[in-house]
Structure 1
Amino acid sequence: MELSVVMPCLNEAETVATCVRKTVAFFDEAGIDGEVVIADNGSTDGSQKLAREAGARVVPVADKGYGNALMGGIRAARGKYVAMGDADDSYDFATLGPFLEDLRDGADLVMGNRFQGGIASGAMPPLHRYLGNPVLSFVGRLFFGSKIGDFHCGLRAFNKASILRLGLQTGGMEFASEMVVKATLAKYDIRERPTTLSQDGRSRPPHLNTWRDGWRHLRFLMLYSPRWLFLIPGLVFMTVGLVAGAALAFGPVRVGSIAFDVDTLVGAGAAMIIGFQAVLFALLTKVYAMEEGFLPDDTRVRKLLRWWSLERGLVFGGLLALAGLGGLVASLMHWRVHSFGELDPRHSLRIVVPAATALVMSLQQLFASLFVSILGIRRRHPLVVDAAEEAADVVDEAAEKVAAEGAAAEPARD
């Protein structure tokens, strides 16, 4: 079978039969060997019976959620290629011809773009049309270098084997973003086709929740981009803290009528610590995501880890700690000169703040080096290994048996 059209369904009795009939008619007119798969997520309004009568195959999916329903339908699909779209009659499945042409040409994922094809009046709320979708699509392009203009278009088609290799995991509406993000990171051939969005045929409100599902999309985009979530903000904090700290370490700084002194120096030290922690979080998150397969392997990070060994990290952290301790000793000597009495904070803090900052950062560096080393330990579960070895033995025995039977039958064939 060439094409399976998967539609998630939860109480879509008003429109599901219409969508199925239109898709089946498209198969007949285009001469496509295809099927319609209704991934039912627990409908209680008779959607399953209506879909079967219209010519669809219904696959029950127990796990709730848009992404779970779609993954259940995709796994059950028999086609080499899979197209997905909502069962609310808002997408025209008869326009899948160009999508299929791109797939036959070697594309892994073909996205629809509603902003290029046209959005009917009332088909999309203004908040989604002018704020939600454009902003989230822009964030996706910025964070991941994608060229897709409509990240959340519900009509898309893909090579089933390619998408299954991505290991998609989200169960909610953010599934739409996860597919595009992971396909982009895997350097898949992703193309885009204009598509139209019509007003859906249901009398009830859609399942989509504007703020909840919008936040889930944004949260996913941030969590899958440690660079934008941790690294870039961390570098900004460190740069501001370093520049301000260096300028104030030797005395107050005036900008017009505003004077910056030791209070600002304390803030600069805090910015350095926060920024350094964020940069370390970026590295730790990236390493963990790579080891667990959430993000593809990054050669730059691998090179950094090969150079930044545990020993180098401990040495660097130790040197930073010595610098901090040296500063604290200098502050004690300064206190001693004043007979351990009251000190002018405008002078003493210029020694204590940089010293304390260096000491805190040294401990962060030491702990991070140890944790990165732990993350780099390759796990080998004995039960999994034993099962794999046992399965390999069974396969070997079966192969030997087949070979022996074939050798015995060879003279008879001659």
Structure 2
Amino acid sequence: MPSSTENVELSILMPCLNEAETLAVCIRKAQRYLERSGIVGEVVIADNGSTDGSQDIARSLGARVVPVAQRGYGAALIGGTQAARGRYVIMGDADDSYDFSRLDAFVEKLREGYQLVMGNRFRGGIAPGAMPPLHKYLGNPVLSGIGRLFFNRHIRDFHCGMRGYDREAVLRLRLVTTGMEYASEMVVRASLAGLAVTEVPTTLDKDGRSRPPHLRSWRDGWRHLRFLLLYAPRWLFLYPGLVALTLGGLSTLVLMLGPREVGGIGFDSVTMIYTSAITVLGYQAVVFSILTKLYAAREGFLPVGPRFRWLSNLFTLERGLVLGLVIFVLGLVVGIAQVLGWGGSGFGELDTIRATRVAVPVMLGLTLGFFTLMASMFAGALTVATRSTAHPTPMLDIPAVDETVAGQGEEVRS
């Protein structure tokens, strides 16, 4: 074990919660790797409150134990990363499912300049019984596919538990999730921050524990999916909203002019009521995407591009209020005109179809105008300058990617 003053290149980090059955074999494999490779390194055990003597096992083998009081997979890894002394960190579970004696590919890519090196179990090999069929054929492929779609990365295994990273670069990301979704947060935040990311094959063996794993398939799968959605407001709000707004709005405009027939099916005022509702939902989703982005920019956990800055500068609080007021007043004027016209006829029986064709645009004007007024006020509150926004969180203050790395292989970089 290196002294505290020695220049440590690699910290091999294992989160641990009652892993007495398998911890020793994992530590010995990691130590053999360090000895064989000649790397100055350390083995760090981020202990999450074990009660089975895991801490004593680790210390007896020369590993460094870092107590992490806050429970959770992510909390243990955050605490372990903060305490690590190495320039690079390679993390992996302490259940003997990952082979800590075969880390050459991770170290090689880290030395090349990549700041996050993901393991890929599907390329390296999954032993029989090592991964439940639900995870292998549904959970991991679906969640990894959603991650690639949302964040434009070519990572094929978003949730591999073995990965290496530049310690300082990951600490600057200020990762915060304490549960299993930490695995997704690391990849997502690294992608958004522009870190150099790549993948290497790794293997997954059946773990050596006699007890069930800490992972809960449906609960933790939902937590991963929820995290991916919350960090992708375009996919959660903007794109569905634009589709609904466009289809609903155009259909409503067409039906305002009169009934239509498509494929022998007639569409009239009742259809118009439904299309107007779709228009309202789409408009609200688009506005929510803007508000979410403003909040994310204020808190510093999503990057803001030049197009969004231009858009936010164009639609100021005052312009939003004017736009909302104009839409609201137009709807109100048309509505008043309709009531006056009805009064002119003695408030008699209405032609329901014709009246609906006017009432629906009135409802749209009042609803969208009022919602625009309220959203503009809320956006104004989000953009008020405070002490925290004057000195934003430096989460995305990541050094520029080495040009020798940036040009390597589209199959592993976006």
Alignment-derived partner of residue 242 in structure 2: 235
Determine which structure has greater relative contact order: mean sequence separation of CA pairs < 8 Å that are 6+ residues apart, divided by chain length.
2
Q: 1:333 corresponds to which letter in structure 2?
A: L
Alignment-derived partner of residue 97 in structure 1: 104
Matched, 1:367 2:358: no
CA distance in 2 between counterparts of 1:65 and 1:152 reads: 16
Alignment-derived partner of residue 141 in structure 1: 148
SS at match of 2:101: helix
SS at match of 2:52: coil
Out of 317, 322, 329, the residue aligned to residue 329 of structure 2 is 322
CA deviation vs aligned residue, 1:62-105 (integer Å, no higher than 9, x gap): 10110001101111101011110000000011221121111111
CA distance in 1 between counterparts of 2:304 and 2:358 reads: 43
Alignment-derived partner of residue 212 in structure 2: 205
Matched, 1:158 2:169: no
Query: By how many angstroms is 1:287 displaced?
Result: 0.7
Out of 334, 339, 361, the residue aligned to residue 341 of structure 2 is 334
Alignment-derived partner of residue 30 in structure 1: 37
Alignment-derived partner of residue 223 in structure 2: 216
CA distance in 2 between counterparts of 1:309 and 1:152 reads: 40
Q: Which has the higher helix share?
A: 1
Q: 1:349 corresponds to which letter in structure 2?
A: T
Query: By how many angstroms is 1:337 displaced?
Result: 4.0
8 Å CA contact 1:82–1:159 kept in 2: the answer is: yes
RMSD: 1.4
Query: By how many angstroms is 1:323 displaced?
Result: 1.6
CA deviation vs aligned residue, 1:10-33 (integer Å, no higher than 9, x gap): 111110010001100100010011
Matched, 1:259 2:266: yes
Larger-gyration structure (1/2): 1
Unaligned segments of structure 1, at least 5 residues: 386-414
SS at match of 1:43: coil
CA distance in 2 between counterparts of 1:127 and 1:209 reads: 12
Q: 2:118 corresponds to which letter in structure 1?
A: M
Out of 345, 350, 359, the residue aligned to residue 343 of structure 1 is 350
| Amino-acid identity (%) | 57
SS at match of 1:193: strand
Alignment-derived partner of residue 409 in structure 2: none
TM-score (norm 2): 0.90
SS at match of 1:4: strand
Matched, 1:305 2:312: yes
Alignment-derived partner of residue 61 in structure 1: 68
8 Å CA contact 1:330–1:351 kept in 2: the answer is: no
Alignment-derived partner of residue 9 in structure 2: 2
CA distance in 1 between counterparts of 2:238 and 2:279 reads: 13
Moved over 4 A (4+): none
SS at match of 2:387: coil
TM-score (norm 1): 0.90
Alignment-derived partner of residue 290 in structure 2: 283
8 Å CA contact 1:120–1:197 kept in 2: the answer is: yes
Out of 201, 218, 228, the residue aligned to residue 194 of structure 1 is 201
Alignment-derived partner of residue 172 in structure 1: 179
Q: 1:335 corresponds to which letter in structure 2?
A: W
8 Å CA contact 1:120–1:198 kept in 2: the answer is: yes
* Pairs aligned (count): 383
SS at match of 1:95: coil
CA distance in 2 between counterparts of 1:29 and 1:3 reads: 14
Q: 2:282 corresponds to which letter in structure 1?
A: G
CA distance in 2 between counterparts of 1:301 and 1:257 reads: 44
8 Å CA contact 1:24–1:55 kept in 2: the answer is: no
8 Å CA contact 1:21–1:55 kept in 2: the answer is: no
CA distance in 2 between counterparts of 1:301 and 1:360 reads: 25
Query: By how many angstroms is 1:245 displaced?
Result: 0.4
8 Å CA contact 1:111–1:190 kept in 2: the answer is: yes
CA distance in 1 between counterparts of 2:247 and 2:290 reads: 21
Q: 2:295 corresponds to which letter in structure 1?
A: Y
Out of 27, 46, 53, the residue aligned to residue 39 of structure 1 is 46
CA distance in 2 between counterparts of 1:197 and 1:149 reads: 15
Query: By how many angstroms is 1:336 displaced?
Result: 2.5
